[in-house]
Chains A and B, each alone.
Chain A
């Protein structure tokens, strides 16, 4: 049991943080989001620096380096990176032996059939589709995709003819044994992304409330504000350690579900509180909060969100209830 980074993890974190400082951050996210673009430059940089396949590269025996992958994804989320990092770095290695090129989107079969907008769906070169009994990896061309305008901080899109794609059986079927790992790692990756995103949103808010003065004193000195920020910090830190422990243990169903259940619930609290405390400026494009806050709501939409995670947790812990 050790809650501090070892030397190797420290080196990974320093390298990824450096890359984020150079190539990501809120200004970059705002610019890309405005144009509906994907950060291809950062995507390539992550590949070149070896972060995209870190789970396999640092694997010990057969155990994927889930924790190291999660730490990288946490850092990407903190920086507001506009890349499909969670899907590629944390989720794909658990179900597929080889990395894939280009952006990767995750969706359920129902989302594909119903043409529901999904994260990175406008840019994905591959789509990983979760069905009850199988997982399918589908290669996509630019003509297959249709961008969807969104309020929620990630580039969204749908497969233009999702129904046909769903029916034609194209792509690679990864088998029934891939279903549970995909569900668990996807769920856990939502928790990890929520952690990095909540952290940046909270840090931004705390800094603002230290500076912003009303009634002759910093807003952050009012106890009515302090207690709520303290509760946000508790929710964030607990989410962080739940997610990291679950990643270390290979996204075991119970641990992954517990992390997602807690973190996605915390995400709502952090969204609500950071916006409420930031006041009117918090809603504007010129104030960076939205880069992270709006994403928190998008994360809560996947895999049935908090309710889905709680059901999965009850199922995993007590063997009953529905997924």
Chain B
């Protein structure tokens, strides 16, 4: 047991910071004010990820045979921390490199790997995830969007009907990682499949759901007789639950929320000092509490990365890390409102933006309560009903 970064890792963090200083434009704050799903940030991500790809950093944690550099997960976590700390200039492409690419490597056909992986590692393709449905939120296994297989052999196709909801990033996405029910007689986790569907396929319609979180944050995606070749199936038919379980282990701690929260908190402390608020014992107490929370979340995430670096199977440590990261994000979002006070009333002010982007943390990628259920049964081994 030891907690030092290697010299190479320290050097890499320095390189990444320098790269960010050079690559982020002067108006980055404006570009990033709507988060990774905003129009400007999505457009910027294509340029930025292309530059990262040129440096060989975008997918450096991938195996060499898929264009990576076989770097340890620790190296990729440094990239994640530094990217989230400045507001994630990779936009939604952090998902591509964190879990969509790895899921394709693990379950994909040779053709799928050949087609998708070079595009992802070049940094010029945007994905979204089609999981939640109006009747399948936390209870994902209740999903109903249907894909009916028609035809045989090379002519076989899927015809998709149904809808997805809360979908982020889909207004810019080139592909959707789509969870569908391929066996109409099945229920729950059986009979589900994953399809990799181009978003420009006729019959797909995207509608924004206006929300208090921000512009282009939530969408509904409607599928009406969307017909795709059967070759878009990822992994085995009817066994998509296995794919999604594998993928979500990467996704749940994919976003280094604690790193973003820690940078926001440093700024809040600076503002508090300028305004003389550090004479207020309550503010000092809240700042101390928040800083400890950022560090706590970081360490629980590191615990998961350590398991991954050693090639261990995923454990409920992922859920522990996820819940605390969520608390951290929320706590600092709320603290921003207190430190800035009435100034935060203005839309897109520092506190407002941070608060809005933090407020969904406890619901995204599986509600906190679902994570707590998993911790109870898997980590504490408490009896089910």
Interface residues of A (CB under 8 A from B): 1-6, 9, 67, 206, 209-210, 217-218, 220-221, 223, 225-227, 229-231, 233-234, 237-239, 241-242, 244-245, 248-249, 255, 257-259, 261-262, 265, 307, 309-314, 317-318, 320-322
Task: Evaluate contact between A241 and B303: CB separation under 8 angstroms.
Answer: yes
Q: How near does chain A come to B362, taking the closest CB pair, in angstroms?
A: 13
Residues of B within 8 A of A255 (CB): 295
Task: Evaluate contact between B284 and A1: CB separation under 8 angstroms.
Answer: no
Q: Which of B291, B293, B302 is A314 in contact with, Cβ under 8 Å?
A: B291
Task: Evaluate contact between A1 and B3: CB separation under 8 angstroms.
Answer: yes
Task: Evaluate contact between B379 and A241: CB separation under 8 angstroms.
Answer: no
Task: Evaluate contact between B3 and A248: CB separation under 8 angstroms.
Answer: yes
Q: Which of A238, A261, A309, A318 is B324 in contact with, Cβ under 8 Å?
A: A238
Residues of A within 8 A of B5 (CB): 1
Given the contacts A3-B1, A220-B382, A317-B269, A226 and B373 also touching, CB distance less than 8 Å: yes
The docked-state distance in angstroms from the alpha carbon of A259 to that of B296 is: 8
Task: Check B74 for interface membership: any CB of A closer than 8 A.
Answer: yes
Task: Evaluate contact between A238 and B2: CB separation under 8 angstroms.
Answer: no
Q: How near does chain B come to A18, taking the closest CB pair, in angstroms?
A: 19
Residues of B within 8 A of A249 (CB): 3
Max count, chain B CB within 10 A of own CB: residue among A210, A229, A233, A318: A318
Residues of B within 8 A of A245 (CB): 3, 299
The docked-state distance in angstroms from the alpha carbon of A2 to that of B4 is: 8
Q: How near does chain B come to A218, taking the closest CB pair, in angstroms?
A: 5
Give A211's nearest chain B residue, CB to CB. B383
Residues of B within 8 A of A262 (CB): 292-293, 295-296
The docked-state distance in angstroms from the alpha carbon of A115 to that of B292 is: 32
Task: Evaluate contact between B376 and A226: CB separation under 8 angstroms.
Answer: yes
Q: How near does chain B come to A145, taking the closest CB pair, in angstroms?
A: 35
Within 8 A of A (CB), among B342-380: 369, 371-373, 375-377, 379-380
Q: Which of A67, A258, A313, A322 is B1 in contact with, Cβ under 8 Å?
A: A67
Q: How near does chain A come to B348, taking the closest CB pair, in angstroms?
A: 26
Q: How near does chain A come to B340, taking the closest CB pair, in angstroms?
A: 17
Task: Check B323 for interface membership: any CB of A closer than 8 A.
Answer: yes
The docked-state distance in angstroms from the alpha carbon of A233 to that of B270 is: 33
Residues of B within 8 A of A67 (CB): 1-2
The docked-state distance in angstroms from the alpha carbon of A318 to that of B12 is: 26
Task: Check B58 for interface membership: any CB of A closer than 8 A.
Answer: no
Q: How near does chain B come to A42, taking the closest CB pair, in angstroms?
A: 25
Task: Evaluate contact between A310 and B383: CB separation under 8 angstroms.
Answer: no
Count class of interface residues, chain B: 35 or more
Q: How near does chain A come to B197, taking the closest CB pair, in angstroms?
A: 36
Task: Evaluate contact between A220 and B383: CB separation under 8 angstroms.
Answer: yes
Q: How near does chain A come to B287, taking the closest CB pair, in angstroms?
A: 5
Task: Evaluate contact between A223 and B373: CB separation under 8 angstroms.
Answer: yes
Give B77's nearest chain A residue, CB to CB. A1
Residues of B within 8 A of A261 (CB): 288-289, 291-292
Task: Evaluate contact between A318 and B299: CB separation under 8 angstroms.
Answer: no
Q: Which 6 A-B pairs have the closest CB atoms?
A: A310-B288, A226-B376, A238-B296, A230-B375, A241-B299, A3-B306
Q: How near does chain B come to A69, taking the closest CB pair, in angstroms?
A: 13
Residues of B within 8 A of A3 (CB): 1, 302-303, 306-307
Give B371's nearest chain A residue, CB to CB. A230
Residues of B within 8 A of A318 (CB): 266, 269-270, 273, 278, 287
Residues of B within 8 A of A307 (CB): 285
Given the contacts A221-B384, A321-B278, A237 and B300 also touching, CB distance less than 8 Å: yes
Give A310's nearest chain B residue, CB to CB. B288
15 contacts between A and B (CB under 8 A): A1-B309, A3-B307, A206-B380, A233-B375, A234-B324, A238-B296, A238-B300, A241-B302, A245-B3, A248-B1, A258-B296, A313-B291, A317-B291, A318-B269, A318-B270
Q: Which of A4, A5, A225, A248 is B306 in contact with, Cβ under 8 Å?
A: A4
Task: Evaluate contact between A229 and B376: CB separation under 8 angstroms.
Answer: yes
Task: Check B155 for interface membership: any CB of A closer than 8 A.
Answer: no
Task: Check B297 for interface membership: any CB of A closer than 8 A.
Answer: yes
The docked-state distance in angstroms from the alpha carbon of A258 to that of B289 is: 8
Give B309's nearest chain A residue, CB to CB. A1
Per-residue CB contact flags for chain B residues 1-24 toward chain A (1 = under 8 Å, else 0) read: 111110000000000000000000
Q: Which of A257, A259, A320 is B273 in contact with, Cβ under 8 Å?
A: A320
Give B385's nearest chain A residue, CB to CB. A221
Residues of A within 8 A of B291 (CB): 258, 261, 313-314, 317
Task: Evaluate contact between A311 and B284: CB separation under 8 angstroms.
Answer: yes
Q: How near does chain A come to B327, taking the closest CB pair, in angstroms?
A: 8
Given the contacts A4-B1, A318-B287, A321-B284, A313 and B292 also touching, CB distance less than 8 Å: yes
Given the contacts A1-B4, A234-B300, A317-B269, A242 and B292 also touching, CB distance less than 8 Å: yes
The docked-state distance in angstroms from the alpha carbon of A249 to that of B296 is: 16
Given the contacts A220-B383, A230-B380, A233-B320, A244 and B288 also touching, CB distance less than 8 Å: no
The docked-state distance in angstroms from the alpha carbon of A217 to that of B384 is: 10
Given the contacts A6-B1, A241-B300, A218 and B320 also touching, CB distance less than 8 Å: no
| Other A-B pairs beyond A1-B306, A3-B303, A259-B292, 4, CB < 8 Å | A1-B302, A1-B309, A5-B1, A314-B288
Task: Evaluate contact between B285 and A310: CB separation under 8 angstroms.
Answer: yes
Residues of A within 8 A of B293 (CB): 262
Give A232's nearest chain B residue, CB to CB. B380
Task: Evaluate contact between A230 and B379: CB separation under 8 angstroms.
Answer: yes
Give A237's nearest chain B residue, CB to CB. B320
The docked-state distance in angstroms from the alpha carbon of A210 to that of B381 is: 9
Q: How near does chain B come to A268, taking the closest CB pair, in angstroms?
A: 13
Task: Evaluate contact between A313 and B288: CB separation under 8 angstroms.
Answer: yes
Q: How near does chain A come to B120, taking the closest CB pair, in angstroms?
A: 27
Give A218's nearest chain B residue, CB to CB. B383
The docked-state distance in angstroms from the alpha carbon of A310 to that of B281 is: 10
Give B287's nearest chain A residue, CB to CB. A314
Residues of A within 8 A of B377 (CB): 226
